[in-house]
Amino acid sequence: MNSLDVVGPQLAVLVAAGLVLLLDSLVPQQRRLLPVVALLGLIVSALWTTSWVGRGDYQFLFDGTLALDKYSVFFYYVFAGITATVVLASIDWVNREGRGQGEYYALVLTVCSGLMFLAASRDLITIFLALELSSIPQYILAGWGKDSKSSEAGLKYLLLGAIASSLLLYGMALIYGITGTTLLPEIAAAIKADGETYRGLLIVATILLIAGFGFKMAVVPFQMWVPDVYQGAPTPVAAFLSVGSKAAAFAVVIRIFFEGLDADFLSDDWSMIFAVLAAASMTLGNVMAIVQTDIKRMLGYSSVAQAGNFMIGLAAISVAGNEFTLGASAILLFVAAYAFTNLGAFVGVIAISQRIGSDQIKDYAGMWKRSPVLALAVAFCLISLTGIPPTVGFWAKLYIFNAGIRADLVWLVLIGVLNSVVAGYYYLSVARQMFMGDAEEDKKFRASPSITMALGAATIGVIVFGIIPMPLMSAAQDAAEIFAR
Amino acid sequence: MDGFGVTVAFWILAAVTLVAGGGVMVSRNLLHAVLFLILSFIGVAGFFVLLSAEFIAMAQVIIYVGAITVLILFAVLLTPRASRDNSETVWALPGMLLAVCLAAIFLFVVHDTQWKTVTDAPLLTTQDLGHALLGTWVLPFEIASVLLTAALVGAIMLTRSAEEEAEDALA
């Protein structure tokens, strides 16, 4: 197998990005084809990924810096799906904005390739560059709008992101300095050999890594940017940030911590750090979300709380023996479920705010009478975010709480359950507004075809995997198998 | 590479780098801050020379001292208010306290650790570096090139004026 074939999924996405740019400048009268090219690139990427699943030919390449395994493949699908939904949801906004259409899709596709590289890297240098490849275009996209709020979002995201990157680099440098290698398996071997003699340094490096990635995951106390950036950035970009970079950050953190820093004496320490961060994120995110009146800010805080839920899986590493991978597979299931659910919610927000011209929750009153299908789809996504059956969010929460209990983190799971009740309050109060509230006007409306497609795909995913969760669960378990020891 | 001279050089370079770094923080005039930054970068280049990494030292001087600081100077030059409005912040004191605490932790940990010392490191030529860059590290190398392209595209988009966009829309 040659190396071009190995990076095929990323290459397909990047080639599509180049084509979009070329098409935009050479054939400007055919701009409506741009999203089609972008979607085709993502489809080719997904098919390429599928061809490996067929071949079952998994291996490590580029001298071990890139892993082609079931874990990367799982995330390739997730990222291709997320990006396709974001492209669909962007079409109306980009057409209305008018400027830089080719550049917008090209940058979205570049982010996607960065996320894919991030999930597959097995080496600190590659991880860092892939992280920057996914971040820098996102800073630009967050500041894409012409209003000052969008510029503020872009600038805030850029400055805080730069600080987070520098902390991350510091942590990586310390790890390289003490182990003499950047490859995760070699780091693991070096730490297992004589790591206890430099345990203090490893803990400092671990904290720096958690701080750097915590920014991308948007967990407390690295969440300050979330509400402002989500509110100011164009809504499709906010959706992309909330799902894409969060999922990728968890993907790479699982790989670094479960593959590189999994020595027993060390994992006891960092699983405690993750447990505390998880509890803080869930609680603070939910409490702050209750008081929000802007739905994008509310979804921002809710994504902080959801990151706390993800983190229970990281804290659950201490599960002994053959259940070592339970925490990782729980996170993977949660990532996939969250991708469907949160994208659905954001696309619903895009569809509604496009028509009513407001992001205020109170303006959602009576949506049921104005656009029943839209209201129903958004309601399903909100129910799934809360974690109530028959939605995929229920299974994800059940699974991750189960992992927590098996790891003797009962206190953390209790906090998680209590927080789910709090979350239910504000998610369902939006639903109540839509169904019981009185609309100021009762003009009916429908979402545009592209938005309907995006919302439909997300909602169908939420419901179908809510009723038959087994395929998704076994895919997550398969992917997490690579960490078995 | 041992003995008194290297030790003295190390401490001088360390002092220059750190003092210049402090200067970047405290100088209220943005131009002065950039000049301090240049000094700090030169200090870091000196460390690379001490470590017998001449190529990286040269790259440090050319890229950081040469290109990046010139870019910052131009940005300051072309942004009318930038050099005047380097405002005070109420967070200066808490920030300083936090920095001192962090530095204390880092110093303690770094001092406490038994670092492995390499005595017979092979002398790497630029040729070796090139082989490594396009051999083992070809993937990160290519990722970096894609990253730069994306950053360029984004920078052009963000800085285009309204007239240029109107022209573009007509095309």
- Per-residue model confidence as pLDDT tens for chain B (171 residues): 567 888 899 999 999 999 999 988 888 788 888 889 999 999 999 998 888 888 889 999 999 888 988 888 888 888 776 555 556 678 888 888 998 999 999 899 888 888 877 777 777 788 888 888 888 888 999 999 999 999 999 988 888 766 666 666 555
Distance CA B54, CA B52 (A): 6
**Longest CA span, chain A:** 70
| Distance between A121 CA and the closest CA of chain B, angstroms | 10
Work out whether the CA dihedral B29, B35, B38, B44 comes out positive or negative.
Answer: negative
Q: Which of B102, B153, B170 to mutate to test the interface with A (most CBs of A within 10 A)?
A: B153
A139 neighbourhood in chain B, CB within 8 Å: 154
CA distance A15 to A106: 9
State the ipTM, two decimals. Answer: 0.88
Q: Which residue of A has its CA nearest to B118?
A: A180
- Quote the CA–CA distance of A294 and A279 in Å, as a whole number: 25
**Cβ atoms of A268 and A315 closer than 8 Å:** no
Whether residues B10 and B75 share a domain: the answer is yes
Indicate whether B5 and B88 sit together in one domain.
yes
Same domain, B75 and B146: no
Tell me, yes or no, whether B93 lies in a domain: yes
Phi, psi dihedrals of residue A262, rounded to the nearest 5°: -95, 10
Number of helices followed by number of strands (H, E) in chain B: 8, 0
CA–CA distance, A295 with A346 (Å, rounded to integer): 9
Q: What is the pLDDT of residues A350-372, one digit of tens each?
A: 888 888 888 888 888 888 888 88
A24 shares contact with chain B (CB less than 8 Å)? no
- Whether B91 and B17 map to the same domain: the answer is yes
In a domain, B112, yes or no: no
Query: Residue B106 falls within a domain, yes or no?
Result: no
Give pLDDT, residue A319: 54
Chain B partners of A144 at a C-beta cutoff of 8 Å? 157
Among residues A382, A211, A371, A374, which one has the least CA distance to residue A298? A382
Size of interface A-B (CB pairs under 8 A): 92
- Side-chain-side CA neighbours of residue A342 (13 Å): 31
Task: Record the tokens describing residue B159, joined without a space.
Answer: 């800085």
Q: Per mean pLDDT, which range of A303-312, A335-344, B25-34, B147-156 is the poorest?
A: B25-34
Euclidean distance between CA atoms A110 and A240, whole angstroms: 13
- Number of structural domains in chain B: 2
Kindly report the nearest CA distance between residue B136 and chain A, in angstroms: 6
Residue A241 to residue A223: CA distance in whole angstroms: 13
* Torsions phi, psi for B159 (to 5 deg): -100, 5
For chain A, give every domain's residue range.
Answer: 263-485
CATH number for the domain including B74? 1.20.120.1200
Residues B91 and B138 in one domain: no
Are the beta carbons of B165 and A99 separated by less than 8 Å?
A: yes
Query: Tokens 């997490």 map to which residue?
Result: A480
Q: Cα dihedral angle (A413, A417, A419, A421), rounded to 10 degrees? A: 180
Question: Does A98 reach chain B within 8 Å, measured CB to CB?
Answer: yes
Min Cα separation A427/chain B (Å) = 36
Range of the domain at B60: 1-99
Indicate whether B22 and B80 sit together in one domain. yes
φ and ψ of A60, to 5 deg: -105, 135
Residue A469, CA atoms < 13 Å, CB-side half-sphere: 21
Q: Are residues B56 and B13 in the same domain?
A: yes
Of B109, B143, B165, the CB nearest to A126: B143
Q: A19-38: per-residue pLDDT in tens?
A: 999 998 888 888 888 899 99
Q: Are A120 and A68 in contact (CB under 8 A)?
A: yes
Q: How far is CA B49 from CA B54, B56, B127, in A?
A: 5, 8, 17
Beta carbons of A200 and A275 less than 8 angstroms apart: no
Q: Do B162 and B85 share a domain, yes or no? A: no
Any idea what the Cα angle at residue B141 is, between residues B135 and B144, rounded to 5°?
A: 175
